[in-house]
Chains A and B, each alone.
Chain A
Amino acid sequence: MILIIDHYDSFSHNLYQLFASQFDKVCVRRCDDIGLAEIKALNPKAIVLSPGPGTPRETGVTMSLLRSAEFEQKPIIGVCLGFQAMMECAGAKVDLAPEVVHGKTVSLKRPSHTIFSEQNEEMELARYHSLVVYENTLPKSVNALLVYNKMVMAAELKSMPRLGFQFHPESFLTCGGPLLVKKTMAYLRSKISV
């Protein structure tokens, strides 16, 4: 089962559709409607942190989940706010973005990391954000995978199976979202067994 933690967002069920069309069972739960004990009992094979309004401090169970030692070996994927929470928890800083972009795309060159290997050379990515993590605030434990104008668009934790996107793989504006998610899941699982 894959657990999606919903931060009261209106794109969480696009993530649900994206994962449910590729994986067996996907379950969506509101971030203030589930506790660590229940997440542990559900024992999902991966956790997805949804986008949402506000800042990482307004994410219900999410920050304590990210800080808990119990879930260090659990694959976690963050999107937008979920990604920012993951980064803030690792020690990076979430700040105002230089511009507000909602519903616009950016075209970026495909990076070399394996999760992007089946994407087009020019990747068309959907952006919805007014806050951002700047590259120069990333701690040593974080590896930036995709950077645009000093803004981190994708990053992973070096020693944990955690990876996140500032852009929206679930948007209809992003080409190759399903493949990206599939590759990311496989990659994070390979990180556990190491």
Chain B
Amino acid sequence: MNKLGEIIKDTIVSLPDFASSEQLSESFESYDRERLFSLLPKNESLFYLESGPCGRTILLLGEKWSIDIYAFKVEIKTEEKIESFDREGMTQVEILNSIEVWLQNQDDCLLGTSLMYEAGWDGEKRKASINRRLPDITIVCPQEVVIQDGDATVSYRDKSIKSLLKKNNHSYTENFSKDCMIKNTLSEENYLKCISRIKDKIRSGHSFQVNFSQAFEMVGEIDLLSWAKSLFENEAGHFSCLVIRNDYSILSISPERLVAKKSNTLITRPIAGTFAKSESMHDIEKALNEFRNHPKELAEHNMLIDLERNDLGKVSEAGSVYVHEYLCIEELPHLYHLVSEVRSKIQEGKGIGDVIQAMFPGGTITGCPKLETMFILNELEQSDRKAYTGSVGYIGKNESDLNILIRTALIEGNKVTMRFGGGIVWDSKPEKEYKESLVKARGLILSLIKGGAFCDFDHRSLRQFFS
């Protein structure tokens, strides 16, 4: 770290305390998302986070301070002032580790965290894409932390504010996306061409798997809170989230965890293998078992477990990495997933910055080997991924949890961008892969159509698929 780096570190470490003066048990009788939503303030920065099956729901409200890490600068904003520093002084890892130092005296604080895909190039000599407008990483110290865990709800408040949670005057609507227009940006024909290019790369030994994606775009004024409420009621994944900030918002029904740190234990939960539900399927148990033992699905899944073992292995004690759960089936509204869990013990001296650097972007949404595959993706996908396959979650003193932003919408002004894709391997059937990317799109696109959005697809078959 150079002299400028020391200054940035000092600035971060001496940011104002969260200083919780109240710990209140609220009167939410039980886990009730609808009730929580009815209390959300309007026009307030917030992180709404689900963390795992039977996990907690966390709501981080307001901004006491924020750190936005851009490709070339870092911006630190408090209630008093905004400071901007040149990034040359510090790596992403150093900034995140400094934030962890600040956290040491903040027992009740959880920091809202979001990462764009492009943050994954940090520290690499060669980079393929750069975020020009959006910050690579955002860290927000909230003014209020609400944790709902089963029947209990606890709320911590910064002493300088009154509760931000209040009876909301937002009138929720079912027509949240009326006058909006959705279109696809890649034709089926071109999707299939890209798959054939990917197979050339696999044949020549440059990749084993490439997680290719296509973009859908929507233009129009959307009622974000209403859309979020409707999505979470009908489609929620175990790691759903809603982030609202000044310059962008993220809405996700992610089913996947990137990494969690619980005291010294690191946990990652890769999803690899997607199986669409269909009404013609009679013996679901038998079909799922076949899926689990299918040579292609199995090989893909095994490869990703080795990749996750590798990434955890960078920051873990020697010999501590192990496969905790293997080939579980998880059910979602439109599909089933094959899921495993890998765990390890963090190496002494490694911070949350090192952990994120080691794991991000997730192997299940890039491919393997990761870096080479990221270059292939950049060449074939026509626009930057931004929020797609980025991450949202929280960082705390004793516990952090971050998801992978798939089944995700990035909202910038009146433009909504969503990407959907899947892992292409040597024995992939191109038409089936194209279809799989659409199956994953169903949750978000169908809900937008239900909310009143019009479709401007380039092919009739797409319209049929989403009808």
Q: Could you tell me which A residues sit within 8 Å of B by CB distance? A: 8-14, 16-17, 20-21, 26, 32, 52-55, 81, 96, 100-104, 126, 128-131, 168, 170-173
Q: Evaluate contact between B299 and A100: CB separation under 8 angstroms.
A: no
Q: List 6 A-B contacts (CB under 8 A).
A: A10-B370, A13-B311, A53-B205, A54-B372, A103-B208, A103-B303
Contact yes or no, B306 A17, CB < 8 A: no
**Assuming the A-B contacts A11-B306, A104-B299, A128-B303, are A21 and B318 also in contact, with contact meaning beta carbons closer than 8 angstroms in the complex?**
yes
A96 to chain B: closest residue by CB: B203
Say yes or no: B363 contacts A13, CB within 8 Å. no
* Chain A residue contacts of B316, Cβ below 8 A: 17
Q: Is B67 an interface residue (CB 8 A)?
A: no
Query: How far does the Cβ of B131 sit from chain A's closest Cβ, in whole Å?
Result: 23
User: Cβ of A53 and Cβ of B207 under 8 Å apart?
Assistant: yes
| B219 in contact (CB, < 8 A) | no
Residues from chain B with a CB closer than 8 A to the CB of A129 are: 205
- Asked whether any CB of chain A lies closer than 8 Å to the CB of B426, the reply is yes
Residue of A nearest to B323 (CB): A172
Q: Do B302 and A17 have beta carbons less than 8 Å apart?
A: no
* Closest 10 A/B residue pairs (Cβ): A21-B319, A103-B303, A20-B318, A103-B299, A13-B313, A102-B208, A100-B426, A53-B372, A103-B302, A10-B369
Tell me, in angstroms, the Cα distance from A79 to B205 when the chains sit together: 14
A22 to chain B, nearest CB (A): 8
How many contacting A-B pairs (Cβ < 8 A)?
A: 98
Interface of A is mostly: mixed
Residues of B contacting A128 with CB < 8 Å? Answer: 208, 303
Is B51's beta carbon under 8 Å from chain A? no
Question: Chain B contacts of A81 at CB under 8 A?
Answer: 205
A10 lies within 8 A of B209 (CB): no
| Of A11, A17, A21, most B-chain CB atoms within 10 Å | A17
Q: B319 near A17 (CB under 8 angstroms)?
A: yes
Q: Which of A13, A14, A129 has the most CB of B within 10 A?
A: A13
Given contacts A53-B372, A96-B203, A103-B208, contact A10 B302 (CB under 8 A): no
Per the bound structure, the CA–CA distance linking A95 and B155 in Å amounts to 63
Chain B min CB distance to A100 (Å): 4
Tell me the smallest distance from the CB of A171 to a CB of chain B, in Å: 5
Q: How far is the CB of B97 from chain A (nearest CB, A)?
A: 20
| Chain A CB within 8 A of B141 CB | no
User: Given A53-B372, A103-B208, A103-B299: A172 and B305 within 8 A (CB)?
Assistant: yes
Complex Cα gap A17–B300 (Å): 22
**B307: nearest chain-A partner, CB-CB:** A10
Interface residues of B in 311-326 (CB under 8 A from A): 311, 313-314, 316, 318-319, 321, 323
